[in-house]
Amino acid sequence: LPIGTLPVYMVAELKYEVPGLFLEKSEGRQKFMVVYNRYFYSLGAVAAKAKEIQKREQEYDAIDRILFEIGYMLNHFAFEWRLEEVNHPMGAASVEDANIAGATVLVFAAIGKAALAFAHQLKHGRPDDTKPQIVVAVGSNASSPFTENTYRCGRVLECDYDIKTGKSLSMDLGVSVEDEIILVDFRARDGAVQRWLKIPKGNKNALLVGVAGGVVPETSQQALGKFMATAQSGIIDARVNVSDLSDAGIRMIRNTEYFEGAARD
């Protein structure tokens, strides 16, 4: 439930075949995506658990669960390697289309919980022969040391790395026009992604995936500038609706398996 101790009136619908899970349907929550309106209650089924374990689960549910779930969904359903059905950012796709084995994955705004969860999943939540060649975290000067200390990415680079070092990013990363490159944007600030689009320029296997919504307001000129930079790069630009991705995942592997997998991973 929302962080805090004040009572909250809710309209609950028990529509999932998962103990303790309900959908919040009060009028004030209708503007939010469904994925943000799923909650677990902490009574009955968990009452017999040790108090400290129950407390940790409540804290995780309130602070981290949905953000980790986003990383889990991207790994297991957008870049799927087992199931016949794939919910790829580009729409209809096969397992071959979603294959990221040997790819270079750039994660922008990598300090965020959802971004770190995605990097964790790429490193620990896939068989070795389906993992990308390297996951590169890209963040601000202030956030990079923290991201590096999580040990979830092969490299951690600052947004202005090329300016500071004078190095060619594509050469330094060992990326050629034939390599598969996936840029996953968890809404990086200050046009960072658009500056990095020059890395895979001319690459036919490059994909830019935007996740969730913006974290800072932007003017129409800024939005147009981002659009033009992406269009001029020639990179395929896709967007992921995390709520739709969650619904697709539940449909693909059933309610219980979906939530058990997210909790286990």
Task: For 175-232, write each residue's pLDDT tens digit.
Answer: 777 788 888 988 777 667 777 776 666 666 778 888 864 445 666 776 666 667 666 6
Angle in degrees, CA 33, 131, 189, rounded to 5: 45
This prediction's pTM: 0.78
**pLDDT at residue 135, rounded to an integer:** 93
- For the cut 60, the answer to whether the pLDDT of residue 1 exceeds it is no
What is the distance of C-alpha 8 from the center of its chain?
29
Q: Which residues pair with 156 in a beta bridge?
A: 137
Residue ranges of the chain assigned to CATH 3.40.50.720: 70-243
The answer to whether the CB of 144 falls within 8 A of the CB of 171 is no
Token digits for 166?
């004078």
Percentage of the residues of the chain whose pLDDT score is greater than 90:
9
Is it the case that residue 242 has pLDDT exceeding 60? yes
CA-wise closest residue to 232 among 192, 202, 188, 193:
202
The yes-or-no verdict on residue 129 having pLDDT over 90 is yes
The two three-digit tokens of residue 240, written as one number: 């992921």
Which DSSP state fits 4?
A: S
Determine the pLDDT at residue 45.
47
What are the pLDDT digits (tens) for 132-149? 999 999 888 888 888 888
Least confident of 40-54, 135-149, 229-243: 40-54
Answer whether 209's CB lies under 8 Å from 183's CB: yes
Architecture of domain 70-243: 3-Layer(aba) Sandwich (3.40)
Summarize pLDDT for 56-70 with one digit per residue, the tens: 666 666 667 788 888
Would you tell me the crossing angle of helices 242-253 and 255-264 to the nearest 10 degrees?
A: 110
